[in-house]
Amino acid sequence: MAEWKQRLTEYLSYIGDNPIMHAFVIILASLVLAWILDKVVIAWVKRMTGKTEAEFDDQFVELLHKPLFYSILVFGISVAASIIKFPAEIGDVIFPIFYTILLVMWTMFALKVTKMVLQRMAGNQQHFHILHAQTLPLFENLALILIIALSVYYIFSSWDIDMSAWLASAGIVGIAVGFAAKDTLANLFSGVFIMADAPYKIKDYIVLETGERGAVTNIGLRSTRILTRDNIEVTVPNSVMGNTKVINESGGPSTKYRIRAQVGAAYGSDIDLIEQILLKIAKEEKELCSYPEPVVRFRMFGASSLDFELMGWITEPANRGRILHHVNSAIYKAFAENNIEIPYAKQDVYIKEFPGVPTDKSSQSKPIEANLESEKTMPKESS
């Protein structure tokens, strides 16, 4: 550094020994160099990048020229100020001001370029699986904190302020805050992992282990919000979401969801006719997908019925209840039109005697029979 200043002084000695004149020449030279770099070199680079299809290089050059121009200018001003040899009280103020200006300018440049790079990486999910639209705000905030922290550290260092005491105090405060807000920190870290792992995303239809079912409306750092079919918003802490079983009905390669309509037919029914009726109902239901095609399965021989299942695909899991209602209604009507019995449980109850009524031996040989109906499908029982 000393040799560089000595050579510069030798070159400036050709125009006299006046320090103010030397400072003026240095400032003028830095201004000319900055102008040439901005109007010639950067302009040429812009023309070269304009021929490419990518937009990132054009935006990068556009952001670079301004801090580069002022960096050369501020560097020349700082060199000129050192030649004039201001008193120490003034120099200790002027030079940190120059360095602070440069650091602020380059910090703004770094923030903008980092945001551009992260957005570009988020758009290419084939190579960057962790970084996507949902996790992009998280990475942008982390980059913002890191860049600003480094910038503040170097700005304080340029003013000869010792940061070790500040860092030690921050460590102690961080430990105290960690113990006091452990639940909040657990939610925070769980939110980071949820955003990175992406088991679900906004607008996905999920079912929690506790039974709540609804669409994800927000994934925050502290909690996840779900809007149920009853139009009730459920807020679940991320620490709970990270440690529970979550069924994502919208997951997979598409949002299609398969519904199942189960129905029983009496023994002796025509199973081929039942299959034809169920497939016809599936084809006539407009909200069932034609691909994959609906299918009918004869599942099992039940206790009192032949159990069938009609399976079809819908585009959105949220429509499951409404479409299943239409399908079940159509099945009931079609079975009634074709005289296909849907069996239900029957129980025969034999009453031997009533409490408080004298027993008649002749009546014991002729028990009273009553038929009762229940909802569950059960075989006939005698008691």
Residue 377, pLDDT above cutoff 50:
no
- pLDDT for res 66: 84
Bridge partners (DSSP) of residue 218 are: 225
Q: Which residues are CB-neighbours of 82 under 8 A, at least 6 positions away? A: 5, 91, 95
- pLDDT for res 375: 42
- pLDDT for res 338: 95
Bridge partners (DSSP) of residue 234 are: 226
Evaluate whether residue 380 is within a structural domain: no
Residue 91: pLDDT band (50, 70, 90) is low
Residue 328, pLDDT above cutoff 90:
yes
Instruction: Locate 114 and state its tokens.
Output: 């980092």
What is the total count of domains within the chain? 4
Lowest mean pLDDT among 5-9, 280-284, 323-327, 363-367: 363-367
CATH code at position 319:
3.30.70.100
Report d(CA 66, CA 105) in Å as an integer: 9
Q: Are residues 349 and 295 in the same domain?
A: no
Residue 28, pLDDT above cutoff 80:
yes
Tell me which residue range forms the domain holding 331.
Answer: 257-337
The whole-number average pLDDT for the span 103-119 is 90
Evaluate whether residue 383 is within a structural domain: no
| Summary mean pLDDT of the chain | 81
Evaluate whether residue 185 is within a structural domain: no
pTM, whole model, 2 decimals? 0.55
Residue 292, pLDDT above cutoff 70:
yes
Evaluate whether residue 74 is within a structural domain: yes
Lowest mean pLDDT among 36-50, 173-187, 301-315, 329-343: 173-187
Query: Which pairing describes strands 233-237 and 246-248: parallel, antiparallel, or unpaired?
Result: unpaired
Give the Cβ contact number of residue 72 at 10 Å. 20
Evaluate whether residue 382 is within a structural domain: no
- pLDDT for res 128: 67
The burial class, CB within 10 Å (0-12 / 13-18 / 19+), for 13 is: exposed
Q: Are residues 327 and 350 in the same domain?
A: no
Q: Are residues 314 and 232 in the same domain?
A: no
**With the C-alpha atoms ordered 143, 148, 149, 151, is the resulting torsion angle positive or negative?**
positive
Distances (CA, A) of 64 to 46, 55, 109, 110, 362: 11, 14, 7, 10, 111
Report d(CA 61, CA 68) in Å as an integer: 10
Domain finish residue from 248, 267, 291: 248
Ramachandran angles phi, psi of 13, nearest 5°: -65, -20
Evaluate whether residue 180 is within a structural domain: no
For 203-241, what is each residue's pLDDT tens digit? 899 999 988 999 999 888 789 999 998 999 999 999 999
More confident residue, 37 or 22: 37
Residue 50, pLDDT above cutoff 70:
yes
